[in-house]
Amino acid sequence: MADPYFVQIATSDLAELDRALELLGERADLNHRYRKMLDESRDQLAQPEIRLTQARGLAKRLMVLLKAAGADFPETLPETLRAELDAGRRRADSLVFHPEEG
């Protein structure tokens, strides 16, 4: 595998992360620090491409934001939105724990 610092990934390939972050922004009760983290993540995803290392960082941020939203947050969502959140979580897991699949 090439050096991940130099590998670019299209942000369109990170749609699941983007949607999960959008859901957190719309529905989670997050303090201003987490909201800033959320806004910075969404700004990165607005670019056409980012480095693979940045994508992994976004995945880790999503994991942090999900914990900050609370363990019961997914249950507050309708089933369709919960499925979208789960898709984002799975994409984040694949980037962080299985980068060769990323």
Angle between helices 15-27 and 32-45 (to 10 degrees): 150
5, 53 contact by CB (below 8 A): yes
Give the containing element (helix H, strand E) for 8. Answer: strand 8-10
> For the whole model, what pTM was predicted?
0.91
Upper half-sphere CA count for residue 100 (Cβ side, 13 Å): 1
Please give the single-letter amino acid code of residue 53.
T
Q: Which tens digits make up the pLDDT trace of 33-80? A: 999 999 999 999 999 999 999 999 999 999 999 999 999 999 999 999
16, 90 contact by CB (below 8 A): yes
Q: Domain extents for the chain?
A: 8-97
Residue 101 has pLDDT above 70, yes or no: no
